[in-house]
Amino acid sequence: MVDNKNDSHVAIIEGDPHISALLQTSLQQEGFRTSSFGNGASFLSVLDKIKPDVCLVDLGLSDQDGMELMDTIISSTGAATIIISGRSDAEEKIAALKLGADDYVEKPFEPNEVVARVHAVLRRTRRTKITSEKSNVIAAFGNWEIDFNTYKLSWVGEAEKETTTIYLSHGEAAILKVFVDNPNRLLSRSQILDQITDDPDLNFDRSVDVRISRLRSKLEDDPRKPALIKTVYGAGYLFVSQVIWN
């Protein structure tokens, strides 16, 4: 079912039809367009057509691992993702953040809580894009180029690379924007957090660490020995590169 009342489109990939219906009702009452899917295959078959802004992904899908689906969404579209899970394991949440999830909601939940988190993710997304629109939007550094309008990361180095185009999650793009705006400057976790989030539920140091770990896995030749995003133990992070804006 799709409702056409709002420019922001939320895709719900949820195996429980009752939960899916609750989320649809709550989101549509806030004016969102919604599409619902009972499994990963039905969603992926129309992903290129519906172009969602936010995807709510159930980890317990019958046909596909929710983590793998989330990774596909991020790598192919850059859409924001919010994991919905009945699992309360802290390591599961950390794993989801490392893969690029923008938020994580445990079942059972109040539908209005999920709506609030969708609003929060979109606010952060818009703030990153508005900031980019005030200046140039494409930054080149090292062997990479990032377009902050699309969150597309492109390899521009001379050496051949298997993956030359990668889509970042909103959280990853927001942190990278902080770094390219402050090259060769030591930034504490709290300074990074101040610039990337207005959601107090995400205001914890580990959220920065896991997203930076994810960025390193995409940017660095050897994430264990990072050349671009260096850790200054006890102080924070240092982005070591010249940045050219286009």
Mean pLDDT over residues 79-102, rounded? 82
Q: Which uninterrupted H or E stretch holds 187?
A: strand 186-187
Torsion of CA 160, 163, 164, 170, to 10 degrees: -150
Contacts 24+ apart (CB under 8 A), 63-67: 63/39, 64/39, 64/40, 66/13, 66/40, 67/95, 67/96, 67/99
- Alpha-carbon distances of 19 from 15, 24, 171, 213, rounded to whole Å: 8, 9, 26, 33
The predicted pLDDT at position 136 comes to: 64
**Boundaries of CATH 1.10.10.10 in the chain?**
135-245
- Whether the per-residue pLDDT at 167 is higher than 90: the answer is no
The predicted pLDDT at position 203 comes to: 42
The model's pTM is 0.63
Q: Which CATH number fits domain 135-245: 3.30.565.10, 1.10.10.10, 2.40.40.20, 2.120.10.80?
A: 1.10.10.10
The predicted pLDDT at position 137 comes to: 83
Q: pLDDT: is 78 or 131 the higher one?
A: 78
**Is there a contact between 208 and 179 (Cβ–Cβ < 8 Å)?**
no
**Boundaries of CATH 3.40.50.2300 in the chain?**
9-129
Q: Which uninterrupted H or E stretch holds 57?
A: strand 54-58
Q: Which CATH number fits domain 9-129: 3.40.50.1000, 3.40.50.720, 3.40.50.2300, 3.20.20.120?
A: 3.40.50.2300
**Is there a contact between 107 and 58 (Cβ–Cβ < 8 Å)?**
no
Angular region, 234: left φ>0, alpha ψ -120 to 50, beta rest: left
Return phi, psi of residue 141, to 5°: -155, 140
The predicted pLDDT at position 131 comes to: 52
Classify residue 196 by its DSSP letter: H
**Is there a contact between 193 and 174 (Cβ–Cβ < 8 Å)?**
no
Range of lowest pLDDT (35-49, 92-106, 107-121, 128-142): 128-142
- pLDDT tens digits, one per residue of 184-214: 999 998 888 877 764 444 444 567 888 899 8
128 falls in which pLDDT band (50, 70, 90)?
A: low
Mean pLDDT over residues 107-135, rounded? 77
The predicted pLDDT at position 201 comes to: 45
- pLDDT tens digits, one per residue of 23-58: 999 999 999 999 999 999 999 999 888 889 999 999
- Whether the per-residue pLDDT at 122 is higher than 70: the answer is yes
